[in-house]
Structure 1
Amino acid sequence: MWPWGHAALGYLIYRVARHSRDQSWPPGDGPAIAVALGTQFPDLIDKPLAWSLNVLPSGRSFAHSIFIATIICSIAIVVSRRYGYRTPAWAFSIGYCAHLLGDALLPILQLDTEFLTFLAWPLLPPPPYENDSGFIEHFVNVTPDPFTLFGLALTLAVLGLWAHDRYPGIRWLVR
């Protein structure tokens, strides 16, 4: 899934989870930014370490592992309790997990378990990706396949929801 698809999926899941838990809406700036950061976090760690520094075996390995995700989200929630910022920590964690779901969605739909091994790294090796060598190559090779178009449609729909929610997160970024 592309970055904008991850952001859209994460915001949608956070929105549904938050709205079903309590009726306070729209979300605040802090949680909106936290969910956005969470949706990008695995790629912000793994892609540079794999593609630019050659420290990781794949752009979907370390931070894409459910083991590492559990540790990072647990630390965020424990620390947030201490300082009274529980909502942003939960928003970050939902965004993080939404990212992993977004990357696992196509292999799940295709029943291709070989491309789900990134979730169990380092117990299982990362899948063999064709475009796992650099940012520019990755973007140059984008194709309008059905899953990419799904991600784009999801993004456009969630942008509408975000606008309806009065663009949470923008006020803080503009200040």
Structure 2
Amino acid sequence: MQPIVHLAVGYLCYAGYVRWSEGTPPGEQATVVAAVGAALPDLLDKPPWLLGLTVGRTIGHSLLFAVPLVLAGWLLARSSGRPSLGIAFAIGVASHLATDVPWHVIAGDYDELGFLLWPITPMPPYSGTKPLATVGGVEVTTLWLEAVILVAGAALWWVDGRPGLEPSRWRSDG
């Protein structure tokens, strides 16, 4: 999945959770924390890949790193009296890892799921965009579905008042 789409998925997931649990749109600070969580795996793994490492999913995409990181974030947020920020971070990270899985399963590229337990399991180079179907002679790829997800996430974020953009509107999300 493209890095920008992970932000949209993270927002959709977090906004859904907040609406379900509180009945309101997400708050400013928690939205930023969810976005950081959603972006973190790529922020850790893409720079070395851009510099020539053959894979773009290593430590940041590994459950062996993500689970302790999420737990530490949740404990830190809880100890500072802001448990909702820990939940936001956990949802952001989990949404990223969870949405990197389906494309490989749909395409039957199960070996590419090695990133989930890296470095215990090997991680072959990412094979890129996956074909989903052919409609009217046009190949529909994962990028098409990602575009729909991106638009949906951006639309909901806009309707919610674009939380996270203005620190002056930050309320105590805690």
- In which range does the TM-score fall when normalised by the shorter chain? 0.7 to 0.9
Distance across 2 between alignment mates of 1:70 and 1:151:
25
2:169 equivalent to 1:170: no
Cα distance, 1:53 vs. partner?
A: 7.8
Preserved contact between residue 62 and residue 117 of structure 2 (Cα < 8 Å): yes
2:147 equivalent to 1:152: yes
Aligned to 2:77: 80
Among the aligned pairs, what percent are the same residue?
31
2:108 equivalent to 1:111: yes
Q: Quick check: which one's strand share is greater?
A: 2
Counterpart AA for 1:29: E
Distance across 2 between alignment mates of 1:78 and 1:44:
22
Aligned to 1:52: 51
What is the CA RMSD across the aligned residues, in angstroms? 2.2
TM-score by length of 2: 0.83
Cα distance, 1:130 vs. partner?
A: 5.0
Preserved contact between residue 51 and residue 58 of structure 1 (Cα < 8 Å): no
Cα distance, 1:153 vs. partner?
A: 1.2
TM-score by length of 1: 0.83
Tell me, which stretches of 5 or more residues in structure 1 are unaligned?
A: 132-143
Cα distance, 1:112 vs. partner?
A: 2.4
Residue of structure 2 aligned with 1:61, choices 22, 42, 58 = 58
* Count of matched residue positions in the alignment of Structure 1 and Structure 2: 160
Q: Quick check: which one's helix share is greater?
A: 1
1:89-128 alignment to 2 at 5 Å?
A: 89-128=86-125
Which stretch shifts more, 10-19 or 60-69?
A: 10-19
Distance across 2 between alignment mates of 1:52 and 1:28:
36
Preserved contact between residue 57 and residue 123 of structure 2 (Cα < 8 Å): yes
Deviations 1:98-135 (A, max 9, x none): 1111211201222321111110111101122357xxxx
SS of the aligned residue for 1:79 comes to helix
